[in-house]
Amino acid sequence: MTSVPTRPAPVSPNPGGSDHPERGLRGLRGLKPLGRMGDRVRLPAQPFLRHLVFFVLGAAFFYVLTTNVSTYNDFQIGEIALYAIVLGGLSLLTGLNGQFSLGHGAFMIIGAYTLALLQLHAHVGIVGELVSATLIAAAAGVIVGIPAARLSAPYLAGVTLMLALALPQLSSQYGSVFGGEQGLTTTPPAGPGSINSQEWLAWIQIFCALLVLLLLANLARSRFGRAFRAVRDDEIAAAISGIHVARTKVLAFAVSAGCAGLGGALLAFSTGVVNNGEFPLSLSIALLAAMVIGGAGSFVGVWWGAVALVYMSTWSGSLSHQFSLGTSAAAYLSDAIFGVVLIVAILAAPTGIQGGIRWIGRRAWRGLVGTPLQTAATTALVALAPASSTETGEPLGHRVIPLDGPPADDGGSRCRSAPAGGDDRVSGDDSVSGDDRISGDDRVSGDDRASGDDRAGGTHGETSTVRPDPEHEHDPEHEHEHEHEHEHEERSTP
C-alpha cells in the first residue's frame, strides 16, 4: 500500500484535537461532560499557547473589573475565583474522569486548616502556605482516592459524603490544635504599598484561579487527560490499552483534592477565620451542583458555576428580605433556589451553562448560514483572520457572540477588533462541527459508509462556503477531505 502523500504534518497541527461530533444537548442520562476541556484546536497554535492567551486575557479582564468596582465586589470576585479553582478540580474529577465526590468541602477544610496552622506556628510566606495547603489536600486526596478507585459511583458518593461529615468533627475533637468551635484566625496577605488589601487578596485569588485552570487545561490535553477520559469511558478498554486504571483514578482524585485544598486556603484568607461553620455539608453538595450547572468537564463553565455559588446566597438573602421571610426560612432559601436552578439546568442544558451557550451559539450561527448577513460576516472574518491567527480557542464565555450575531452590518464588522474576529471565527467553527454532528449521527444510525461519506462531503462543501478563511489549510476537516480523495484513487487502482 503506498503511503498517502503527506501534506505538511496533517495531524500535528491538531495534537489530540477533537471535533467531537456528538456534542450539543444530550438526554438526561447524559449529564455527561462536554468531554473536551479545551481539547479542540483548530488552528496550529500549540494548546499551551492557546491556554496562555486565555490566561492573559482573563488576567486583563479581571484587572479592569477589580479596579472598577467596590471593595465588597472585589471580595466577591475573589470568592468567585477561589470557587472556580475548587470547581475546576471537581470538573476534572467528574467531567473528565467520571468519579463523583460529595465531599469536596472536606478537602477545602484541609486546605483552610493547613493555612491557618501554618500561619500560627510557622512562617513560610504566602506561597509556602498555599503550596502546602494544596499538597496536603492532594495527599488526603490520594488517601481517599485509593479506596475510591475500587468503588463505583454510588458507593464512592457515600464514602466522600462520609468524609464531608466526619472530618469537621476532628476540629471539635482536637480543640487544642484546631481551635474548637471558634476555629482559628487567619491574616490575609498585606498588599505592597497603598494597594487596598481586599483588592490585593482578590488579585491573588484570581491569579491562583487562572494559573490553576491553565495547568488543569494543559493536564486535560496531555496524555493524562486522555487517560482520564479513557478510564471514564471504558475501564476495560483502557486497561487493555495499557492504562493503569487505579493509578489514573487516584491521580485524578489527588489533583482534584489539591485544587479544593488551594480553594479552601484562599477562602480562609477571605473569611479571616477557619472553623467548621465555614464548611457545612451543604457546601460540598453545592459545589457538585455548581459544577453541573456550569458544565461538567468544562474549564470555562466553572466560572459560571462559581458565579452561581457566590451570588446565589446573596440573591436569596435579598429575596427573603423582599418577601419578609423569617431568618430560618432565609437560611434555607438559597439551598432551595440552588436545587431549583440545578433541576432547571439539567432539564434545559444537560451539559451545563457552558454547553447550553455553545449549543445556542451553534444554532444561531446555523440559522444565519446562507443569509446575506452571514455572507457579510464571513467576508469580514476573512479580512480579519490573518490579524488574529493567534486568537483561537474558546475564550471565557465568548461563545455567546453569535447570539448578537456575526455583525449586522458589513462595515461594522470590519471595524471590529482583531480578537473579536478571532472569536467569531471560532463560532464559525462551531457551526461546522454542528453540521458534522448531524452527519456523524446519521452515519451511526444508518451505518452506511457510502452515504455517510457523501454527506460528509456535502458538509465540507458547505464548510468551505461558510468559512473560506485563509486558515483553512490548517483545518483538519480539509486535511481529511484531501486524504479522502487520495484514498479513492488508491482504492480504485488495485
Partner 1 sequence: MLRVDGLTVRYGPVQALSDVSFDARDGVITTVLGANGAGKTTLLRTLSGLVRSTAGRVSFDGVPITGRDPETISRMGIAHIPEGRGVISELTVDENLRLGTLHRLRRAERRGAMEEIYERFPQLGERRNRSASTLSGGERQILVIGRALVSRPRLLLLDEPSLGLAPLVTAQIMATIEELTSGAGLSAILVEQNARGALSVAHWAVVLNLGRVVIADEPSRLGADAELRRHYLGF
Q: How far apart are CA 136 and CA 377, in angstroms?
A: 51
Q: Which is nearer to partner 1, 15 or 175 (CB)?
A: 15
Q: Which is nearer to partner 1, 327 or 492 (CB)?
A: 492
**Three-state SS for 3?**
coil
Interaction pattern, residues 412-451, with partner 1; x per rule: CB under 8 A: ------------------------x---xx-xx--x-x--
Q: Which is nearer to partner 1, 123 or 449 (CB)?
A: 449
Q: Which is nearer to partner 1, 318 or 445 (CB)?
A: 445
Minimum CB distance to partner 1, residue 350 (Å): 15
Minimum CB distance to partner 1, residue 236 (Å): 6
The binder of partner 1 chosen from 30, 189, 457, 476 (CB under 8 A): 476
Q: Which of residues 4-23 bind partner 1 (CB under 8 A)?
A: 4, 11-12, 14, 16-22
Interaction pattern, residues 105-144, with partner 1; x per rule: CB under 8 A: ----------------------------------------
Tell me, by CB under 8 A, how many residues bind partner 1: 48
Q: Which is nearer to partner 1, 35 or 183 (CB)?
A: 35
Q: Which is nearer to partner 1, 404 or 447 (CB)?
A: 447
**b/e map 38-77, b = 16+ CB within 10 Å:** bbbbbbbbebeebbbbbbebbeeebeeebeeeeeeebbbb
Selection from 138, 144, 183, 146 nearest residue 163 by Cα: 144
The binder of partner 1 chosen from 181, 409, 454, 487 (CB under 8 A): 487
The binder of partner 1 chosen from 363, 472, 478, 480 (CB under 8 A): 480
Q: Are 368 and 374 in contact (CB under 8 A)?
A: yes
Q: Which is nearer to partner 1, 249 or 416 (CB)?
A: 249
How many other β-carbons are positioned within 10 Å of the β-carbon of residue 412? 11
| Cβ contacts of 61 within 8 Å, gap of 6 or more | 396
Asked if 230 interacts with partner 1 (CB under 8 A), we say yes
Sign of the Cα torsion 454, 455, 457, 461 reads positive
Minimum CB distance to partner 1, residue 474 (Å): 12
Q: How far apart are CA 312 and CA 327, in angstroms?
A: 16
Minimum CB distance to partner 1, residue 358 (Å): 15
Minimum CB distance to partner 1, residue 89 (Å): 20
| Cβ contacts of 412 within 8 Å, gap of 6 or more | none
Minimum CB distance to partner 1, residue 459 (Å): 12
The binder of partner 1 chosen from 7, 26, 150, 223 (CB under 8 A): 223
Q: How far apart are CA 92 and CA 294, in angstroms?
A: 13
Q: Which is nearer to partner 1, 29 or 491 (CB)?
A: 491
Minimum CB distance to partner 1, residue 79 (Å): 33
Q: Which of residues 232-271 bind partner 1 (CB under 8 A)?
A: 232-234, 236-245
Q: Which of residues 319-378 bind partner 1 (CB under 8 A)?
A: none
The binder of partner 1 chosen from 59, 226, 383, 397 (CB under 8 A): 226
Q: How far apart are CA 77 and CA 98, in angstroms?
A: 29
**b/e map 256-265, b = 16+ CB within 10 Å:** bbbbbbbbbb
Q: How far apart are CA 392 and CA 176, in angstroms?
A: 53
Minimum CB distance to partner 1, residue 22 (Å): 5
Q: How far apart are CA 344 and CA 347, in angstroms?
A: 5
Q: Which is nearer to partner 1, 123 or 491 (CB)?
A: 491
Q: Which is nearer to partner 1, 19 or 79 (CB)?
A: 19
Q: How far apart are CA 241 and CA 235, in angstroms?
A: 10
Q: How far apart are CA 31 and CA 360, in angstroms?
A: 18
Q: Which is nearer to partner 1, 237 or 343 (CB)?
A: 237
C-alpha cell at 328: 430560618
Q: Are 291 and 156 in contact (CB under 8 A)?
A: no
Q: How far apart are CA 278 and CA 284, in angstroms?
A: 11
* DSSP conformation letters of 19-45: --SS-S---GGG----S-SS----SSS
The site for partner 1 (CB under 8 A) is made up of 1, 3-4, 11-12, 14, 16-22, 35, 223, 226-227, 229-230, 232-234, 236-245, 436, 440-441, 443-444, 447, 449, 452, 476-477, 480, 483-484, 487, 490-491
